[in-house]
Structure 1
Amino acid sequence: MTSLRIVTAQINPIVGDIEGNTQKIIEAMASATAAHTPQLILFPELVVTGYPPEDLLLRSSLKHRVERALARIAEASAEAYVVVGYPRVAEEGLYNAAGVFFRGRLQCEYYKQCLPNYRVFDEKRYFIEGREPLVFDVFGVPTALSICEDVWEKAPTSAAKAAGAQLLLNMSASPFHAGKQAEREALLAQRAWQGGMPIVYCNLVGGQDELVFDGASMVVSKSGELMARSPAYVEHLGCVTAHWNGKRLVFDEAEITDLRPVLEDVYETLVLGVRDYVEKNGFKGVVLGLSGGIDSGLTLAIAVDALGAERVQAVMMPFRYTSSMSIEDAEAQAELLGVEYQCLSIEPIYESFMATLADEFAGTAVDKTEENLQARCRGVLLMAISNKKGYLVLTTGNKSEVAVGYSTLYGDMAGGFDVLKDVSKCRVFELARFRNTRSPAIPQRVIDRPPSAELAPDQKDEDSLPPYPILDKVLERYIEHDESAETIIEAGYDRDMVYRVLRLVDLSEYKRRQSPIGTRITERGFGRDRRYPITQRWPIGD
């Protein structure tokens, strides 16, 4: 009977930082060896470059930089097999590759067979497909490699089984969306049963622009039983022990971190998305406009949880239409969370703009122009603070608003990162209530009051939009499920309302192209997921 200790090295690389990522890999190898004396260490997909490297893969220096990194990894390898993901430049093209390092050299190499080209994935733009399974010997255990999408399709597992594998390793860069972990576990159970062998799955962790990789690496038995689950959202070296009798491999049950409710996972995803975007891009902190409303209130709480109160600044920018309740609630929340807080009136700035524009506006009626000007005064102030302090401006628009264009270009859309860009208004309320279960963060009055942009007297969001519970259901059907207007109407929604909402979504594409990125939490966010032309005459809702 042979015993194997296998470590899943769930780490957080930075895209393009090949030297830094390589050092992180080598340090993880040393830590795993010191703590567990493993026989095998498994890293995530493309960990050397970070994922997704996108057009960095087209750089002429890629081959040299990767080969130099692999030489360092090989030199650091010793008595444990180390499996690392990287791009391999070959004569015929570029592969998404995994290398097996042992005792100072590269032993063998596997090329990803299934290249995803849907939703946020665009791998066929860069890579060519591998054709063959790889089965190598790990102290007597026939072991196969697969990379991320390979395990979502049947063929690679079947080929590995036919080649004699008794253990399947899967290195992944699988981004989060709500409910994704349950999907992964069901899939791995199915593949393990199909292949008649256990699967060790190592997932990337960390934020990369709008994507968040949540980790939660796993081991499942040949019957599909979960044997180990690493914690999500943190770097982690998970260790499992397997026993090989020459015919079958049996895993001891190891640490199984509890699954969290989906709402809590969504919140942690938003926190990690902010933290890594700020840290990896070198910002000193963040600044945001705190209006006394629920969107900015939730954004502030997420920012504090991501970075600490000392790196967060909140600015209330009242105008004549701003209620005293909003000013009181903004100040109360800033005090609750302990952030730097200023109250800067935009009244004199607005009046100066209006005086300058007096001749241009002469003889015209007051309309949305004056409302938008208020928002743009606020955007100017926030961007000035950003420039002066090296802070990232967080915008606070939610997915419902971004969808229908209920926002102002160069005003409340001015900034570098939109924390709630993929969070519907109804989910904003859910997340705010959830956050308050941890500690007081968002005044209850902020959650209870009707949403308002406060750009005009007694203004309410529902003066311009359908009630959010209805609007969000229509938007989900149209944006995330691609349902037509008539299909949505058949589900019981008012015809005129549906066509009006869908028209707003289509017309607002030009705004979304100019909006900040934001963390993706659904299967269809704005950005990498959804690519619609701005100039087009496709029939509304067809």
Structure 2
Amino acid sequence: MKIAIAQLNPTIGDITNNAQKILDVAQKAVKENVRLLLTPELSLCGYPPRDLLLYPNFVESLTIKLQELAQQFPPQIAVLVGTVTPNETAKIKGEKPLFNSVALLENGEIKQVFHKWLLPTYDVFDEDRYFEPGKELNCFQLSLNHHSEEIIKIGVTICEDLWNDEKFWKKRSYQQNPLEELVNSNINLVVNLSASPYHLHKPKLRTQMLQSSSYNYQVPIIYVNQIGGNDDLIFDGNSFVVNEKGNIVLEANSFREDFKILEFDLKQGKIPLKPINYLPLVEEEELFSALVLGLRDYAKKCRFTKVILGLSGGIDSALVAAIASEAIGAKNVLGVLMPSPYSSEHSIKDAENLVKNLGINSHILPIGNIMNTYDQILDPFFSGTEFGTAEENLQARIRGNLLMALANKFGYLLLSTGNKSEMAVGYCTLYGDMNGGLAVIADVPKTRVFSLCHWLNRHEEIIPNNILTKPPSAELKPDQIDQDSLPPYEILDEILERHINAHESFEQLCQAGFEPTVVRKIFNLLRRAEFKRQQAPLSLKVTTQAFGRGWRMPIASATGLSSKP
């Protein structure tokens, strides 16, 4: 029996075109004599649909389109389609109104519908807001063809349903383990339809988890994942197949649509493919590919064809320009240089060299005269005071206004270029350099920005060498460098990683050898900058804990630094 994996990139809410994608790949599969086609979780509406699910006509459209698809599929193929279905007993039993479902379509009919059991409500997930968990065992029987008596029993799981294996995690996050219950019902094969968002190292984690599960339960698992960027979330694909011994025998590509076919031997109850070596991408390549996909899809799905960004001659804007060039093409990128009297000659030259290396468009808008005008207007208020943060921020806000004007006038998507380290401690200007429609690297720590740029230069100079070697600086006052205000980035980023991602306390960080005064300063900056982060543009999520929908901190709070009174 031939089984196919369709690694698709749906657009949320675009039911018609998503359905056409599924139909096209089904027709392709039929030509290869495929008996069963697998598509990702919620492949018909895209994941996550969020509050679109609150609109009855949206759910009704899914129901109608699913019925149409069933009639359009060739009769010789069975297809598993991810969709949303109504919970008919919700009002009677006081349950959630919908199910996160997978429908089995065959021979012009919706043969069976399976519901997701485990509904994640952590980090970026809020499925319990919309869905009722499934309660019935999800499995079906499929014959080799309509005239065959040879039958395979297949267990269906949906994304999180496979993420509760206590043998792998050493704990249970939910009371039920759908995989365990399916194996106890004597299934021959498990399929998992997923929309699993990306973060660095997650593809490797998934493979290790499912290798462990397939080995422990002695059952082959076929895993199919969505790809693409949907708002802040990036989906990496990396669909794969593991046999009953826990060996990977097939894998799909990363960060692009793919189509793979395998055979299941009905007589032996096995997938007769030889194990392959799983070779994850180099971290920098994986991260860069994710950021490129996230930007490309955000621009495409929001109907932008061109992007604009400010080029300071610094490393952050250089990396964002390189990502944008790869994502939508250099000819569609405009970099704007906006030097002030405090901008160094080498920064202007570095920005110009970057423009040349990337082949992007550029323009220079000096802001010295605008700064003078602001000084004159504000003189009645600022006269007799010392030059400080307010004056520095004016420069960033002038630049932000100019970029927004160009973006509005010509329909560009404005890219914010700040990194995660800056966002964490508030080393950024609200309504200035934080302006933008998308913050491309706002989940990338400064140290990782450097490593990405070094990786980009592995074969040829893309990021000018001087950008990589000079001390980072906002250049908002004479001879300014970042380390005037912040600890060295190596120290800052490690403290932020351990506190934000691993939730280490003040005491734990001090016990690890960090200076208490440095830790206290960072904690204070992190807390005080929360109001900025909640007004920041959408940022692409590439770490386990981004400053986005999964970060839910209060702004007005009095949280102590220490767990001690």
Normalising by structure 2, we get a TM-score of 0.93
Confirm or deny that 1:331 pairs with 2:352: yes
Matched, 1:201 2:227: no
Q: Which amino acid aligns with 1:144?
A: G
Deviations 1:132-186 (A, max 9, x none): 2122112211111000000112410111112221100100011111111111111
After TM superposition, give the deviation of residue 356 of structure 1 in Å: 1.6
Q: 2:29 maps to what in 1?
A: 32
Which has the higher mean CA deviation after the structures are superposed, 157-166 or 416-425?
Answer: 157-166
Q: Quote the Cα distance in structure 2 between the aligned partners of 1:541 and 1:532.
A: 17
User: Which deviates further from its counterpart, 374-383 or 156-165?
Assistant: 156-165
1:158 aligns to 2:180 (yes or no): yes
Asked if 2 retains the 8 angstrom alpha-carbon contact of 1:242 and 1:252, the reply is no
Give 3-state SS (helix, strand or coil) of 1:349's partner.
helix
The CA deviation string for residues 364-417 of structure 1, in whole angstroms up to 9 with x for no partner, is 221111100000010011001101111111111000000000000000001111
Match of 2:101 among 76, 97, 104: 97
Provide the C-alpha distance between the structure 2 equivalents of 1:98 and 1:438, rounded to a whole number of angstroms.
45
Deviations 1:484-525 (A, max 9, x none): 111111100000110010110011000000111111111111
Task: Note the C-alpha offset of 1:530.
Answer: 1.2
Partners of 1:352 and 1:282 lie apart in 2 by: 37
Q: 1:541 and 1:311, CA in 2 relative to 1: closer, same or farther beyond 3 A?
A: farther
Establish whether residue 68 from structure 1 lines up as the match of residue 67 from structure 2: no
Match of 1:79 in 2: 76
Please give the alpha-carbon distance, in whole angstroms, between the structure 2 residues aligned to 1:134 and 1:349. 66
Tell me whether 276-285 or 23-32 shows the greater mean CA deviation: 23-32
Deviation of the 1:541 alpha carbon: 5.0
1:144 matched residue in structure 2: 155
Structure 2 distance, partners of 1:433, 1:301, is 12
Provide, for residues 340-380 of structure 1, a one-character-per-residue CA deviation record: whole Å limited to 9, x for no partner. 11111011111112212221223322111110000001001
Within-5 A mapping of 1:177-326: 177-245=199-267, 248-253=269-274, 258-326=279-347
Q: Which residue of 1 aligns with 2:12?
A: 15
Structure 1 spans left out of the alignment, 5+ residues: none
Matches of 1:396 and 1:405, distance apart in 2 = 14
CA distance in 2, matches of 1:265, 1:360: 51
What percentage of aligned pairs have identical amino acids?
41
Partner of 2:168: none
Equivalent residue, structure 1, for 2:172: none
Q: Which residue of 2 aligns with 1:5?
A: 2
2:30·2:76 contact (CA, 8 Å) conserved in 1?
A: no
Q: What is the aligned partner in structure 1 of residue 552 from structure 2?
A: 531
Post-superposition offset of 1:429: 0.3
**Letter paired with 1:164:** N
Q: Which residue identity does 1:148 align to in structure 2?
A: C
Aligned residue for 1:116? Answer: 120
Could you list the runs of 5+ residues in structure 2 that have no partner in the other structure?
A: 91-96, 144-150, 166-176
Deviations 1:414-473, CA, capped at 9 Å, x for gaps:
111111111000000000001112543100110011000000000000000000000000
Q: 1:444-459, aligned counterparts within 5 Å? A: 444-459=465-480
State the alpha-carbon separation in 2 of the partners of residues 256 and 66 from structure 1. 40
For 2:539, the equivalent position in structure 1 comes to: 518
Distance across 1 between alignment mates of 2:161 and 2:459: 39
Letter in 2 for 1:46: L
Pair 64,175 (structure 1): closer, same or farther in 2 beyond 3 Å:
same
Match of 2:93 in 1: none
Q: Cα RMSD between the aligned structures?
A: 1.3
Give 1:540 shift.
3.0
Partner of 1:364: 385
Counterpart CA distance in 1 for 2:27 and 2:378 is 65
Q: Indicate yes or no: 2:402 matched with 1:381.
A: yes
For residue 41 of structure 1, what is the aligned residue in structure 2?
Answer: 37
CA separation in 2, counterparts of 1:167 and 1:357? 72
- 1:475, 1:412 → 2: CA distance? 22
Matched residue pairs, number? 537
Of the three residues 488, 507, 525, the one matched with 1:486 is 507
Give the letter aligned to residue 115 of structure 1.
L
Indicate the SS of the match to 1:137: strand
1:132 lines up with 2:136 in the alignment = yes
Counterpart of 2:52 in structure 1 is 56
